[in-house]
């Protein structure tokens, strides 16, 4: 994944647990890098190792860390140069989610190494959807829960709920369905 992701993980972990814990996490994860360069590509194993090490060091479940990271990502990207891109993606919650694939196409145009997930929306009435998330990466459904909750906060949808319905693997894709209501 692009360094921007690892940089954001560093931002969340130092904010929540402090610099000393971050140093310990990096050490345990076997990460040598002093800094993550946002536009450089890093092996996905670095990201997974950071989350695994963070879970051991902080005693917080990896799934809870991933969810917190998803929430944080929405704030972090808005504060690190992507506010305009996020604003263009939609003026309300459902519009934004429906435009996520377009957003990734736009980012992928600049960053050819991007391996974007895809998000498919099936509307249920005017305040619900079945969201289908398809990714080459395993285990990130908890992050999507955080991302969607983060978007709910961004768009002042206080009553938003999201529930993971199921996850399956098809060929080299991981597919999860969520019931989202707001
Ligand atoms: O392959 C990748 O490196 C990658 C990185 C980030 C793929 C996707 C993403 C974004 N995505 C992270 C979870 C991925 C889970 C998975 O792969 O299954 C979050 C998508 C998302 C969902 C809900 C709401 C908002 C979301 O993200 C908005 C977004 C998406 C991409 C970027 C920023 C905001 C982005 C911007 C620049 C990037 C990389 C990603 O790289 C650059 C480009 C230029 C200069 C510096 C870094």
Q: Which domains, ranges and CATH numbers included, belong to the chain?
A: 3-60 (no CATH), 64-181 (3.90.1520.10)
Q: How far is the CA of 72 from the centre of ligand 1 (A)?
A: 13
pLDDT tens per residue, range 71-92: 999 999 999 999 999 999 999 9
Is the predicted pLDDT of residue 63 greater than 90, yes or no?
A: yes
**What region, left, alpha or beta, does residue 180 occupy, with left being phi > 0 and alpha being psi -120 to 50 degrees?**
beta
CB burial string 150-178: b at 16+ within 10 A, e below: bbbebbebeebebeeeeeeeeeeebbbbb
Q: Which residues line ligand 1 (CB under 6 A)?
A: 1-2, 4-5, 38-39, 73-74, 77, 82, 100, 103, 107, 110-111, 114-117, 135, 137, 140, 143, 147, 151
| Ramachandran angles phi, psi of 122, nearest 5° | -115, 110
On average, the pLDDT of the chain sits at 97
**Nearest Cα residue to atom 9 of ligand 1:** 116
Residue 112 pLDDT greater than 90, yes or no: no
Query: Measured in angstroms, how far is the CA atom of residue 128 from the centroid of ligand 1?
Result: 24
**Long-range CB contacts (within 8 A, 24+) of 83-87:** none
Taking residues 12-36, report their average pLDDT. 97
What are the structure tokens assigned to 142, written together? 């908890």
Position 174 scores a pLDDT of 98
| Confidence bin at 66 (pLDDT 50/70/90) | very high
Does the pLDDT of residue 120 top 90, yes or no? yes
User: From CA 45, how far away is CA 53, in angstroms rounded?
Assistant: 12
Distance (Å) from CA 22 to ligand 1 centroid: 22
Rg (CA), the chain: 16
The preferred substitution site among 107, 108, 109, 120 for testing ligand 1, maximizing ligand atoms within 8 Å of CB, is 107
pLDDT at position 117 over 90: yes
- Give distance in angstroms: CA of 172 to centre of ligand 1: 20
Query: Which atom of ligand 1 lies nearest, measured to the CA of 135?
Result: 18
Q: How many percent of the chain have pLDDT more than 90? A: 98
Instruction: Tell whether the model's pLDDT for residue 106 goes beyond 90.
Output: yes
């Amino acid at each position: 994944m692009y360094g921007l992701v690892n940089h954001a993980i560093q931002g969340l972990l130092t904010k929540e647990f402090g610099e000393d814990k971050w140093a310990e996490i990096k050490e345990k994860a076997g990460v040598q890098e002093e800094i993550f360069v946002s536009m450089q590509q890093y092996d996905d194993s670095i990201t997974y190792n950071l989350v695994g090490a963070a879970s051991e060091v902080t005693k917080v479940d990896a799934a809870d860390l991933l969810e917190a990271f998803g929430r944080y990502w929405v704030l972090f990207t808005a504060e690190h140069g992507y506010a305009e891109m996020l604003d263009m993606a939609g003026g309300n919650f459902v519009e934004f989610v429906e435009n996520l694939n377009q957003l990734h196409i736009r980012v992928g145009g600049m960053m050819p190494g991007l391996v974007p997930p895809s998000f498919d929306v099936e509307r249920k009435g005017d305040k619900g959807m079945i969201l289908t998330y398809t990714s080459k990466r395993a285990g990130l459904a908890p992050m999507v829960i955080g991302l969607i909750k983060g978007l709910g906060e961004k768009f002042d949808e206080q009553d938003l709920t999201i529930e993971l319905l199921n996850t399956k693997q098809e060929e080299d894709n991981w597919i999860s369905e969520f019931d989202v209501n707001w």
